[in-house]
């Protein structure tokens, strides 16, 4: 009798657990929930991007790129030559991308008054409106773009999020594949030092 009750109880518990999971996926909230959990990991500060200080041997960035913002205005990357550029490739369906967004927003707020530092968050969503709706819903103010031209090989990646920092001298000073914690003094100082 006791085994039947425990088996029945276990089946009910599994049913409730699977029901919650199914509800999250059906409603599309699974990305937010997983992103929230991953944000907790980022708060530990354990996942940080690598930053290069030896600018001599770094790969060259490519400025052969055009981006489009929500107002359909074209940003020619060539116009960013001579500036420090923070580029982040992301998508609304990517939980690690969602997890690092609050830290990127905080970093952006800290350095947005620096005229020589530019942010370009590039959405890889197939439906262009999704990214802008997501950013508006979350209250993020960093600039979001979509690709208007093919992506130069130097920025290609098999994973997202992927982040690059281009130095004013046109070198890729930082590259990180996967989520990372950008809202810290060391990374902020690195951006400002470029």
Residue-range domain boundaries for the chain: 55-193
Query: Which phi and psi (to 5°) does residue 120 adopt?
Result: -140, 100
Find the length of the chain. 194
CATH topology of domain 55-193: Glutaredoxin (3.40.30)
- For each of the chain's 194 residues, which pLDDT tens digit applies? 555 567 777 777 777 767 666 665 676 666 776 666 666 666 666 566 766 656 678 899 999 999 999 999 999 999 999 999 999 999 999 999 999 999 999 999 999 999 999 999 999 999 989 999 999 999 999 999 999 999 999 999 999 999 999 999 999 999 999 999 998 899 999 999 98
């Amino acid at each position: 009798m006791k085994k039947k009750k425990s088996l029945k109880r276990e089946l009910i518990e599994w049913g409730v657990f699977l029901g919650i999971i199914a509800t999250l996926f059906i409603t599309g909230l699974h990305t937010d929930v997983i992103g929230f959990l991953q944000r907790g990991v980022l708060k530990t500060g354990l996942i940080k991007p690598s930053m290069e200080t030896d600018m001599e041997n770094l790969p060259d960035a490519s400025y052969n790129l055009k981006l489009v913002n929500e107002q359909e205005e074209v940003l020619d990357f060539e116009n960013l030559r001579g500036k420090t550029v923070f580029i982040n490739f992301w998508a609304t369906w990517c939980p690690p991308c969602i997890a690092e967004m609050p830290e990127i927003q905080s970093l952006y707020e800290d350095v947005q008054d620096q005229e020589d530092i530019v942010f370009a968050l590039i959405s890889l969503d197939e439906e262009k409106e999704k990214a802008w709706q997501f950013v508006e819903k979350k209250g993020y103010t960093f600039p979001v773009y979509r690709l208007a031209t093919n992506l130069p090989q130097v920025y290609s990646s098999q994973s997202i999020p992927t982040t690059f920092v281009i130095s004013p001298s046109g070198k890729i000073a930082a590259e990180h594949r996967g989520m990372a914690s950008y809202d810290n003094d060391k990374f902020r100082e690195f951006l400002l030092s470029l």
